[in-house]
Amino acid sequence: MFDSLKKKLQNIRTQFASNIEEAAGAEPAPPVTEGFEEAQAAEPEPPVFEEEAPEKEREKPTLFKKVKVLVREREILLREKDVEEPLFELEMVLLENDVALPVTDEIIGRMRRDLVGQHKKIGSSVDDLVASTLRSALCGVLGDGLDLRDFIEGRERPVKVLFTGVNGTGKTTTVAKVGNYLQKNGFSVVIGAGDTYRAGAIEQIRTHADRLGIKVIQHQAGADPSAVLFDAVQYAKAHDIDVVLADTAGRFHNRANLMNQLEKIRRVMKPDLVVYVDEAVAGNDAVIRADEFNKAVGTDAVVLTKADMDPKGGAAISVAHTVGKPILFLGTGQGYDDIIPFEPRVVVNELLGDEA
Amino acid sequence: MLDNLGTSLKDAVKKLAGKTVIDRAAVDELVRDLQRALLSADVNVKLVMQLSQAIKQRALEEEPPKGMGVREHVLRIVYQELVRLMGTPGEVTLGPQTILMAGLQGSGKTTTTAKLARYFQRKGLRVGVICADTFRPGAYDQLKTLCDRISVPCFGDPNEPDALRIVREGLPKFRKLYEVIIIDTQGRHALEENLIEEIVNINEISHAEHRWLVIDAALGQQASEQARRFHEAIGIDGVLVTKMDGTARGGGALSAVSETQSGIVFIGSGETIEDLERFDPDGFISRLLGMGDLKALVERAEEAVSAEDIDVNAMLKGRFTLRDMYKQLEALNKMGPLKQIMSMLPLGGMQIPDDAYDITSTKMQRYKVIMDSMTPPELDDPSMIGSSRIQRIARGAGVTPDDVRDLIKYYKIMQRALKGMRGMGGGKFNMQRMMKKFGGPSR
């Protein structure tokens, strides 16, 4: 997961650090230097060195002044110029990893704001400074996680979960996986087959549920999904079931009528949790549609599917940032167990490679 | 649709207007805006960088031909480079052939398979479909249901776990009976090696003439990588872009095209089985640059409606009466949603208010009934409809007066929109002609 983004981010960090060190014109503390060499040996990037060489020369005239400041103040001031180049590199890395443009702008802006004007005390590690800035930027964007088990524990039964999203993101499969996950955690589950539009959708959820031994409430194709899901909730109440998982038909956010239908479903079944499902491979559009769904029916949590397709993790960052809601699960494969609860801190730590 | 990308590009180009000399700063700015436009459309980052380098270099080095303004010169270069990026359109032969569908999970292979079957059926070919998706529950039911609606035979067995066996059994049978055979396969991604192996095998035993990759318009930077792996495995020779009716801009498809050295064959743009358009790169770019694409509209209109059904030219001239709207509503069923048609007209920078599109089929039906209750003079000159006439029409159509007013309001929105179009018309057509003359196709 996220390997490529992780590698790139670490690259960038090193570059940030070296640029800032250059700006400082001071020898970094010995342990930090070691860290650099290791990182750079692992990720040799010749073009970066070529680009850095002329910059060093350009910096020379001001170096003297800086040294004076250094001697007097024992600290240096980071200027915009010092971080510009690595920031551009970071921007490209984020874009290449499917972080949507507006979100990238936001992260870059945050980094710039936090770094520029920072006073760096001589001796304090540059690496730490960059790492903590990047960490806080990413953490700020990813937000907190949400544990579905805790959420259900704290609610009156049955807990109703509604799944929404555009076509083909994997809602039905996700419903089956979440059903399996909850069953394994000791909850009883019923599924409402709310996708009455797409051909074969009811058969699909039916087969999944049969395999997992979960009861499905279904009407025939073309029925009113609100009615199906209402029945599912009634069934759960009558049989003391813990959780109702409501599947819905995929719909595009620019179709007013379909979004109204979803609104009606929400009114009728009154879900405790609206889960928006999108795929990890989606590009910039992920932001637009996440936003539209959030506006139309609200979103309480996000599930990102097909995360196994993509070693990058940009869409996670984009969607989480846009909706401002926690990511519940990542779908990581075709099996029923291929779903993992999402913990932002773990992801950020993994991306940045260490504890700080 | 693609108008979003168009808008940002247009903004970028607008900044050049009025400049007499090409200065570096202006070109830099244009290229930066272009980069942002393409990046937010999910075009591959490396492609964007290459493209912008090429444009920058050519814009600064090449002398504009005599008599050509700076804006046109740069626009022409942008256009040519975009055409290059887009590749040639994938070929569709109307003869006996086998088509293998490949793509990621949830990209819309099954729906597109049915749409393709419909396309070839409409062209008068006998079509058979084989369902080789043995993994996803309900896949066979889905394809069967869709095919039954258009009376296309569908071969498959939901209880058979071996996709190869289905293809091996179904193909000889269908080859005897049908001219075009489309094989729908299970969704897979490039990192699932056993699934890639499966599709390699299917490809081998089917000897498919075409191997088409289905790409979700929303697919991001991952498109290149996936397309490359699929291409390595089975040699993709065409790309189908789906879900273009959402807000996604389909830049991922360009990455796929560039990786596979193929072209876009069709564009899927709606949920009904008719929502499939042939791809035309000139049109795609014209649309990208906000110049409309009459060609695709005409191609589609010829198939669906006879000339008298809808008179685009009269509409463009601003003679738009309730009668035209009536015809238009009738034609809509055959041609697809209004927004699709509008997006193909050369509307230039004009924005049509969204409520003009927001008309449902039930509403359309009601509008038709209301108009049936009007007199011919009323249809020709709606401005004469006052409140007493509204009362009469409402009684005649069995609706409330508010419904009638609603119709007239809708008519006025449409009329205003079309009037706006007329003003834009001339200049944009010239621009398009200019593009054709200097631009890509003859390059």
Q: Which CATH number belongs to the domain containing residue B361 in this structure?
A: 1.10.260.30
Instruction: Specify the pairing of strand B238-242 against strand B210-216.
Output: parallel
How many Å apart are CA B3 and CA B18, to the nearest integer?
24
Which amino acid belongs to residue A7? Answer: K
- Please state the ipTM of this predicted complex: 0.71
Cβ contacts of A234-242, under 8 Å, gap ≥ 24: A235/A190, A236/A157, A236/A158, A236/A160, A236/A190, A237/A158, A239/A190, A240/A157, A240/A188, A241/A157, A241/A158, A241/A188, A241/A189, A241/A190, A241/A215, A242/A152, A242/A157, A242/A158, A242/A159, A242/A182, A242/A187, A242/A188, A242/A189
Q: Which among B146, B246, B249 has the least Cβ separation from residue A252? A: B246
- Specify if B426 maps to a domain: yes
Answer yes or no: do B247 and B364 share one domain: no
pLDDT at residue A185 greater than cutoff 80: yes
pLDDT at residue B271 greater than cutoff 70: yes
Residue B211: in which H helix or E strand, if any?
strand B210-216
Tokens encoding B387? 């409140």
Instruction: Specify the pairing of strand A119-121 against strand A75-77.
Output: antiparallel
Answer yes or no: do B104 and B51 share one domain: no
Residue that terminates a domain, selected from B86, B109, B139: B86
- Structural domain including B390 reads 294-437
- Specify if B398 maps to a domain: yes
- Specify if B329 maps to a domain: yes
Answer yes or no: do B281 and B312 share one domain: no
Residues A328-341, mean pLDDT to the nearest whole number:
89
Q: Which among B142, B226, B251 has the least Cβ separation from residue A200? A: B142
Return the minimum-mean-pLDDT range out of A51-55, A76-80, B132-136, B227-231. Answer: A51-55
- Specify if B59 maps to a domain: yes
Q: Mind listing the pLDDT tens digit for each residue in A267-317?
A: 999 999 999 999 888 888 888 888 889 988 999 999 988 888 765 667 777
Mean pLDDT across chain A, nearest whole number?
A: 78
All domains in chain A, ordered by first residue: 3-142 (1.20.120.140), 148-343 (3.40.50.300)
Q: Which among B106, B141, B217 has the least Cβ separation from residue A279? A: B106
Residue B250 near chain A (CB below 8 Å): no
- C-alpha separations of A113 from A106, A118, A149, A170, A177 in Å: 10, 9, 38, 38, 42
More confident residue, B76 or B100: B100
Which amino acid belongs to residue B31? Answer: V
Answer yes or no: do B66 and B215 share one domain: no
How many Å apart are CA A83 and CA B115, to the nearest integer?
52
Number of structural domains, chain B? 3
Answer yes or no: do B304 and B280 share one domain: no
Answer yes or no: do B284 and B305 share one domain: no
Instruction: Choose from A180, A191, A309, A336 for mutation: most chain B CBs within 10 A.
Output: A309
Residue that terminates a domain, selected from B236, B269, B288: B288
How many Å apart are CA A250 and CA A277, to the nearest integer?
10
Answer yes or no: do B218 and B177 share one domain: yes
- pTM score: 0.69
Answer yes or no: do B173 and B243 share one domain: yes
Answer yes or no: do B244 and B351 share one domain: no
Residues of A in contact with B220 (CB under 8 A): 98, 281-284, 286, 314-315
pLDDT at residue A63 greater than cutoff 70: no
Answer yes or no: do B113 and B231 share one domain: yes
Q: Which CATH number fits the domain that encloses residue B54? A: 1.20.120.140
Name the B residues in 202-241 with CB < 8 Å from any A CB.
216-223, 226
- Specify if B92 maps to a domain: no
Answer yes or no: do B315 and B402 share one domain: yes
- Specify if B443 maps to a domain: no
pLDDT at residue B135 greater than cutoff 80: yes
- Specify if B253 maps to a domain: yes
- Mention every residue, 6+ apart, whose C-beta is less than 8 A from residue A296: A253, A259, A262, A263
How many Å apart are CA A160 and CA A266, to the nearest integer?
10
pLDDT at residue B103 greater than cutoff 50: yes
Q: What is the pLDDT of residue B8?
A: 56
Residue that terminates a domain, selected from B288, B322, B349: B288
- Mention every residue, 6+ apart, whose C-beta is less than 8 A from residue B191: A308, A309, B229
If DSSP codes are grouped into helix, strand and coil, which group holds residue B244? coil
Q: Give Cα A253 distance to the centre of its chain.
A: 21
How many Å apart are CA A6 and CA B346, to the nearest integer?
45
- Specify if B148 maps to a domain: yes
Q: Which among A98, A203, A257 has the least Cβ separation from residue B137? A: A203
Res. A177 pLDDT band, cuts 50 70 90: very high
Q: Give Cα A329 distance to the centre of its chain.
A: 10
Residue A204: in which H helix or E strand, if any?
helix A201-212
Answer yes or no: do B282 and B151 share one domain: yes
Nearest CA of chain A to the CA of B143: how many Å?
7
Q: What is the pLDDT of residue A53?
A: 37
Q: What is the pLDDT of residue A353?
A: 59
Q: Mind listing the pLDDT tens digit for each residue in A159-174?
A: 999 999 999 899 999 9
Res. A47 pLDDT band, cuts 50 70 90: very low
Q: Which CATH number fits the domain that encloses residue B193? A: 3.40.50.300
